[in-house]
A = this chain, B = another copy of it.
Amino acid sequence: MMTGHFSISDLAKEFEISTRTLRFYEEKGLLTPQRRGSTRLFSAADRVRLKLILRGKRLGFSLQESREIIDLYEPETANARQLQLLLDKIQQKRELLENQKREIDAMLRDLKRTEASCLAALTADSDGKD
Contacts and interface: CB of A to CB of B under 8 A. Distances in A.
Interface of A: 52, 55, 58-61, 69, 72-73, 75, 78, 80, 83-84, 86-87, 90, 93-94, 97-101, 103-104, 106-108, 110-111, 114-115, 117-119, 121-122, 125
A53 B31 CA distance: 33
Contacts of A80: 121-122, 125
A90 B101 CA distance: 18
- Total copies of the chain: 2
A114 B75 contact: yes
Contacts of A100: 58-59, 100, 104
Contact of A117 (B58, B75, B101, B111): B75
B59 A111 contact: no
B103 A108 contact: no
A124 to B, nearest CB: 10
Contacts of A69: 107, 111
30 contacts: A55-B106, A58-B60, A58-B99, A58-B100, A58-B103, A59-B103, A69-B107, A69-B111, A73-B114, A75-B114, A75-B117, A75-B118, A78-B121, A80-B122, A83-B118, A83-B121, A83-B122, A87-B118, A87-B119, A90-B111, A93-B111, A94-B108, A94-B111, A97-B107, A97-B108, A98-B108, A100-B100, A101-B101, A101-B104, A104-B104
